[in-house]
Amino acid sequence: MLAARTTIDRATSTLRKAESSLADAKSTREVARSLARRADTTATALRAEADAAGRAYFAAAQGDGSTVSSLDAVFGSGKDLLAGLAGMDRVSKIAGDAKSLEKIAAARDEEADEAEANAEEAWAAADETGVDEREGEVADAELVLADAKDSLDGLQAMAAAQSVALINTLPADSGQLSEQGWSQPVAGRMTDGYGPRPNKPVAGVNEFHRGTDVAASCNSPVYAATGGVVVEARANGSYGNWILVDHGAGVATGYAHLVNGGILVNAGDTVTAGQLIGMVGSTGASTGCHLHFEVRLDGVAVDARPFMAARGILVG
């Protein structure tokens, strides 16, 4: 399942990048559209001035040039547009010169054409910000992520089925050692139980959780569940600092993630039920202070809670 989770992580990363690129493209498009709207406004104003200049030229060309009465008839309420031509007094001075007005009208028309072309280019630039392409990339990334999640779901279902089959083959509790005293290994609350664990808390741990996790403060006391002989007291990979006690009759208990310096017994020591043997820690593959407690029957880890409950002890 590690490969499937890695695929999901990569697909998620790709999706996040695509979403970020899409957001950037949309922001760029909005800026481009704002510039295009401004260009439209400018082009509209310049076209109005060009039209006014054209009407002024037409009026001058048709009249005798001595007055601006013909201009008044052409412009009507639009006289304010003549401000762009330096005011009515200036128009009255050049009204008789149709050639001058023709040049002004042509210049204004050229400016308006250029402004309209700029506006068209601005809108084209707004359409070329890649939003559609980025939206396609996001949609593709979402499909890849969905497929990856479906694959993981299938693997998890398969693993769960295999786990059920495994549990059905585990050694049965036949009441071994029920007559002797038993003790709670640590005081605390259960945070993870025995069985399939599709969402591993940290890398490097098994898909199937073989123990019962009990949260407790670091350096809290850890006690032997019952009497026996210590067979292991050492660092043990993902278990961290670890103690394994053989109680006889095929029964053994394990205590993992003990704090550094928290192994208080040695291999070969004989212990009794409730004897202090270690201290809670977070060594090995662990996300916080807790005791990983295991019960093994004939070397195979079984669910510790019902086993201990049958002997009057609640774990977690």
Q: Model confidence over 230-244: pLDDT tens digits? A: 999 999 999 999 999
Structural domain contains residue 299: yes
pLDDT of residue 145: 86
Query: Within this chain, do residues 114 and 214 fall inside the same structural domain, yes or no?
Result: no
Query: Within this chain, do residues 103 and 193 fall inside the same structural domain, yes or no?
Result: no
* DSSP alpha helix (H) spans, 80-130: 88-94, 98-127
Structural domain contains residue 99: yes
Query: Within this chain, do residues 217 and 294 fall inside the same structural domain, yes or no?
Result: yes
- CA-to-CA distance for 160 and 6, rounded, in angstroms? 20
Q: Strand 290-297 and strand 300-302: pairing?
A: antiparallel
- CA-to-CA distance for 234 and 237, rounded, in angstroms? 10
Structural domain contains residue 160: no
Query: Within this chain, do residues 110 and 193 fall inside the same structural domain, yes or no?
Result: no
pLDDT of residue 62: 72
Query: Within this chain, do residues 195 and 278 fall inside the same structural domain, yes or no?
Result: yes
Query: Within this chain, do residues 37 and 111 fall inside the same structural domain, yes or no?
Result: yes
Q: Model confidence over 25-62: pLDDT tens digits? A: 999 999 989 999 999 999 999 999 888 888 888 877 77
Structural domain contains residue 79: yes
Last residue of a domain, one of 116, 132, 148: 132
Helix, strand or coil, per DSSP, at residue 267: coil
Structural domain contains residue 200: yes
Handedness of CA 104, 107, 113, 118 (dihedral sign): negative
- CA-to-CA distance for 252 and 225, rounded, in angstroms? 9
Note down the domain range covering 118: 2-132
Query: Within this chain, do residues 221 and 112 fall inside the same structural domain, yes or no?
Result: no
Q: Which CATH number covers residue 233?
A: 2.70.70.10
Last residue of a domain, one of 132, 150, 169: 132
Structural domain contains residue 167: no
Query: Within this chain, do residues 17 and 111 fall inside the same structural domain, yes or no?
Result: yes
Q: Model confidence over 101-140: pLDDT tens digits? A: 788 888 888 998 998 999 899 899 888 889 989 999 999 9
Last residue of a domain, one of 104, 132, 160: 132
* pTM to 2 decimal places: 0.50
Q: What is the domain count for the chain?
A: 2
Query: Within this chain, do residues 77 and 194 fall inside the same structural domain, yes or no?
Result: no
pLDDT of residue 162: 57
Residue ranges in the chain whose pLDDT is less than 70: 1-5, 63-97, 152, 155-170, 172, 197-207
Structural domain contains residue 184: no
Structural domain contains residue 15: yes
pLDDT of residue 68: 45
- CA-to-CA distance for 255 and 186, rounded, in angstroms? 10
Query: Within this chain, do residues 21 and 116 fall inside the same structural domain, yes or no?
Result: yes
pLDDT of residue 67: 40
For the chain, how many residues are written? 316
